[in-house]
Amino acid sequence: MRILNIDGSEAGACGNGTRCVAWAMMRGTDAKKLRIETVRGPLNCARLDEWRFSVEMGAPRLKWDEIPLRDPFHDTRGVELQIGPIDAPVLHTPAVVNMGNPHAIFFVEDAAAHDLGRFGPLLENHPIFPDRANISLAQVVARDHILLRVWERGVGLTRACGSAACAAVVAAARKKLTDRRATVTLPGGDLQIEWRTSDDQVVMTGPVELEFEGRLASALFADLAA
């Protein structure tokens, strides 16, 4: 499986897309499990019921050169980056995590109080992120609940981002703000995320919805065949 962003760049990871592909591949079969090859590596998917699936998203990468960052940081639970005046920054000290793609998570009191559509492009393309980054605003509601808004690398504001939900729970757990299992509420709905202690895997569970079906004309692929 390969997933392309709106700007044509390839997404290093896409949890929601993987879950939907798993549904499509297992549709009409008795299969309960599926392994999907991605640029991130093989992802194990499981069908819990007709419309609910889980995906093992892999172990988080937490070292500065695995994110990657331009500059060395010993502690990636909070790196030196801010938006706004030096003495009163609007956003500052994000946690960074790689879940197959780079994520920067700013923990805020109110995720809806900031203009992510304005700050997102600046932060995505900040020189500290040589591969750009997904930018999230995370509001911890309880030890098992996070509200999340995401500016997605190569896309913009999105209603949901599975890898960002995974990164947010990892970052929150590392900062002792939540436990290792939490519900992440995004504008598009809820995801259940668990960062397992047994094997370091981050498991994302959520629903699938059929929006529409169609058929692509073969002529669209004529140039690819050539």
> Across-strand partners of 181?
194
Q: How far apart are CA 39 and CA 44, in angstroms?
A: 14
- Which residue bears the tokens 């879950």? 19
161 is catalytic: yes
Tell which residue, 122, 73, 127, has the closest CA to residue 97: 73
Tell which residue, 20, 13, 18, has the closest CA to residue 134: 13
14 is catalytic: yes
Q: How far apart are CA 2 and CA 7, in angstroms?
A: 14
> Across-strand partners of 148?
138
Q: How far apart are CA 75 and CA 96, in angstroms?
A: 9
Alpha-helical segments (H) within 52-140? 116-124
**Residues 6 or more apart whose Cβ sits within 8 Å of residue 196:** 180, 202, 203
Q: How far apart are CA 123 and CA 102, in angstroms?
A: 12
* From 14, 20, 45, 166, the catalytic residue: 14
What is the set of active-site residues?
A: 14, 161
